[in-house]
Amino acid sequence: MGHWNAGSFDTVGIYRPTTAEFALSTDNSTVWVNTRFGNPGDIPLVGDWDGRGYTTIGVYRPSDTTFYLSNDNATVTYAIRMGNPGDIPIVGNWSGTGKTTIGVYRPTDTTFYLSNTNT
């Protein structure tokens, strides 16, 4: 779910894990953008990474514990290593600034590790 084109409401998007493709809709019935981003096995994420008011895509790659985030649904804007093997990626507006930032949940110590920046 996201504001893919800064509309006034969220619309659907899907992720195909076998091909690492996102299909995003702006009207909940037709595909607005269909793009390959990341690698098979990555974990899909969405957020407003720069606070511009619309949602874009990203992935977390467990094999290198790195978040790859895009501001244009096509290219990597941010590549941030965070976490340990086995951590679960999470994203949210932790600081109330309007920007979605990264974090991980570590099951081994039941702790959330959050970042207020994507740099």
* Residue 3 belongs to some domain of the structure: no
For residue 25, count CB atoms less than 10 angstroms from its CB and return exposed for 0-12, middle for 13-18, buried for 19 or more.
Answer: middle
- pLDDT in the model for residue 7: 67
* Residue 71 belongs to some domain of the structure: yes
- pLDDT in the model for residue 17: 93
Asked if pLDDT for residue 78 goes beyond 70, the answer is: yes
Q: How many domains does the chain have?
A: 1
* Residue 68 belongs to some domain of the structure: yes
Global pTM? 0.93
* Residue 1 belongs to some domain of the structure: no
What's the domain range around 97?
13-114
Asked if pLDDT for residue 118 goes beyond 80, the answer is: yes
* Residue 119 belongs to some domain of the structure: no
**Cα gap 66→80, rounded to integer Å:** 5
* Residue 6 belongs to some domain of the structure: no
- pLDDT in the model for residue 29: 85
Cα 64–chain centre separation: 16
- pLDDT in the model for residue 83: 95
* Residue 58 belongs to some domain of the structure: yes
* Residue 8 belongs to some domain of the structure: no
Which of 52, 86, 33, 44 minimizes the C-alpha distance to 69? 44
Which of 95, 101, 3 minimizes the C-alpha distance to 58? 101
Q: Which long-range contacts (CB under 8 A, 24 or more apart) does 112-119 make?
A: 113/82, 113/83, 113/87, 114/90, 115/80, 115/82, 118/49, 118/50, 118/67, 118/69, 118/78, 118/80, 119/78, 119/80
